[in-house]
Amino acid sequence: MTDTRPGTPPGPPLPATRPAGVPRRTATRAAGADAIVDCAVYVDGRREPPIDPGEALAAASERGGFVWLGLFEPTEAELGAIAEHYGLHPLAVEDAVYAHQRPKLERYDDDLFMVLKTARYVEHEQLTATSEVVDTGEVMVFLGSNYVITVRHGEHGDLADLRHRMEEEQRDLLCLGPAAVLYAVADLVVDTFVEVVAAVQDDVDELEASVFSPERTDDIGRLYQLKRELMSLRRAVAPLEVPLQKLAERQVDAVPDPMRSYFRDVQDHAIRVRDQLGGLDELLSSILQASLARTTMADNEDMRKISAWAGIIAVPTAIAGIYGMNFEFMPELEWRYGYPLVLLIIVTACVLLYRGFKRNGWL
């Protein structure tokens, strides 16, 4: 299959699309599986009949629509063939292949390349010091005047449901062109952040209750692990504000004016999630300080108890040590009631010391 646009030299064949009726992948791409998850041409908000991926771009240009090409973890060769077919910038292609990028928006002539971090809350019965709480992935979006290419990395962030919802319920949005898909993807990613933050909030509440519970617990390891997981989520959310601001406020040829209000709404949600994460991080820091303080107080309390018992035991130890020196002339050594008297003195002293320590809170 070659590019059919006039004046464009033939390029390498595109990867084959997923056969009809075959379920879309939801896990890591298997060896030998196709990179193209779905490919469709949209005209006036409606999906056109199935078309070969190699002919989709020409068909979209002729009919005044756009192509939505969905990819899952493409190899360098696979995305290279698509890049030559669609005229994608090599630097953006490199980022899309190797992933591990921070959220950003790049402009190449009249085309856009946007990276979004996806997140998923990892369910667990109980938070431990080694629990994985947040799993992150990536979605890259290439945006042109008559095409949008989504590249997904990771075991989550599937866009199949989003595509179906837009085709069935948001055809008026699809009429606004490829930028509508970029908005829908960004909105889905941010909405997922909201759900993840809500789930993490439950973990924070559980840790807070554990730290301030009457029982003695050691939650420092769990608190530190949750802060680390929260940091990875913040790295996915915080950098997203600037790209969304650019799409909402600046004149971008690939984004029509009616779409700016949509991106402004997503930006508002992203800022709210960022603030929530900041609040959770501060709360975790406070809980961690409280846990450390409580541990220190518990250690001091243990030390006071040990010191109190050591003081009580020192009395019989001292008396026994004195009378164990085996001198001949010692007080009451030959007296008949000397031994009971010494025992009475030891018991009386120990009782008085115990009552004193108890009254002062050392025991």
The answer on pLDDT for 42 being more than 90 is yes
pLDDT digits (tens, 9 = 90+) for 157-204: 789 999 999 999 988 999 999 999 999 999 999 999 999 999 999 999
Average pLDDT, the chain: 83
- For position 23, what pLDDT does the model report? 36
Residue 157 region, left (φ>0) first, then alpha (ψ -120 to 50), else beta? left
Residue 97 CA: distances (Å) to CA of 31, 53, 72, 151, 235: 16, 19, 10, 9, 20
Q: How far apart are CA 164 and CA 81, in angstroms?
A: 27
* Mean pLDDT, rounded, for 304-327: 80
CB atoms under 10 Å from CB of 284, counted, come to 20
Kindly indicate the confidence band of residue 258, based on its pLDDT and cuts at 50, 70 and 90.
confident
pLDDT at 12 over 70: no
List of domains in the chain: 36-294 (3.30.460.20), 303-359 (1.20.58)
pLDDT value at residue 3: 42
pLDDT digits (tens, 9 = 90+) for 54-70: 889 999 989 999 999 99
pTM for the whole structure: 0.76
Neighbours of 172 (CB within 10 A): 10
